[in-house]
Structure 1
Amino acid sequence: MIDETFLTTEEVLEYLQVNLRTVYRLIKAGKIPAVRVGRQWRFRKGDIDAWLDNQRPRAAARGAQAVPATRPAPKALRPHILIVDDEASIRDLLAKTLALAEYDVDVA
């Protein structure tokens, strides 16, 4: 029987042991099954479990261990960006936002 239990975004991040940004990134990329209800996202627990099961064989087939989604990319693999603006507040805001999105940021 299909599990019709719905999870909130917060419950999914706890269940998957990832941060909120990762959950939203997976939703946006269409990698995780989600339904938008009004302004909020909902997830069927059964769909999340099936999605998890589908993720495991790929790692095993490559002979690699599953890597948690919250593990930051090595610095060499992270996109690098240079921010140049004459307003310090804009530079700081962009730098913080891009750093949260896992960019390697330089400010000039």
Structure 2
Amino acid sequence: MKEKYYTVEQISEMLNIHPKTIQRYIREGKLQAGKIGKSWRVTGHDLSVFMESTRPQAGKVTIPLNKNSDYEIKVSSVIDIDVKGMDDAIRIMNTVTAALNTNLPEYGHPTMHAQFLESECKVRVTIWGNIQFAQAIIQLIMELVEIIRQEDY
């Protein structure tokens, strides 16, 4: 039997949830999805798993996001780092990527994108995740930049 796939828009209509919220669930890993072209697709099985995991319990209307609270704060940030050249840029991007790949449970399901803007001699790091993740990445970048600058002198 052929697996049925749903678009973000179809799921949004079925669950009466805004499409951006469905996309956020996908980014956070709460709803498994795959990309076909430029659009996300969710299998019927993955949608069922998601529905079971988010079913309200005992009158609660929020989805518990961590052990301590029914609420979770998300942070997004763009960090521009002036660098002397490609070598410093690669070092920063590799270190930040390695930190993201530690997959510590307290960081939830963060996302990060890093790029070297050669014309500006700048590394741009974009992060999205919980406050603990954002704080750790920003602290890491601050320390790494300090090390690189000390090595230059």
Matched residues in 2 for 1:31 and 1:54: separation?
9
Matched residues in 2 for 1:50 and 1:26: separation?
13
1:65 aligns with 2:60: yes
One-letter amino acid of the counterpart of residue 42, structure 1: R
One-letter amino acid of the counterpart of residue 65, structure 1: K
Matched residues in 2 for 1:54 and 1:23: separation?
14
Segments of structure 2 that go 5 or more residues without pairing to the other structure are: 64-71, 75-153
Segments of structure 1 that go 5 or more residues without pairing to the other structure are: 69-76, 80-108
One-letter amino acid of the counterpart of residue 20, structure 2: R
Matched residues in 2 for 1:17 and 1:9: separation?
11
Report the identity percentage: 26
**Post-superposition offset of 1:47:** 1.3
Matched residues in 2 for 1:55 and 1:23: separation?
13
- Ranked by relative contact order (alpha carbons within 8 Å, sequence separation 6 or more), the top structure is 1
Q: Which has the larger radius of gyration?
A: 2
**Post-superposition offset of 1:64:** 3.6
RMSD over aligned Cα, in angstroms? 2.7
Matched residues in 1 for 2:24 and 2:16: separation?
14
The structure with the greater share of residues assigned to strand is 2
Matched residues in 2 for 1:52 and 1:37: separation?
22
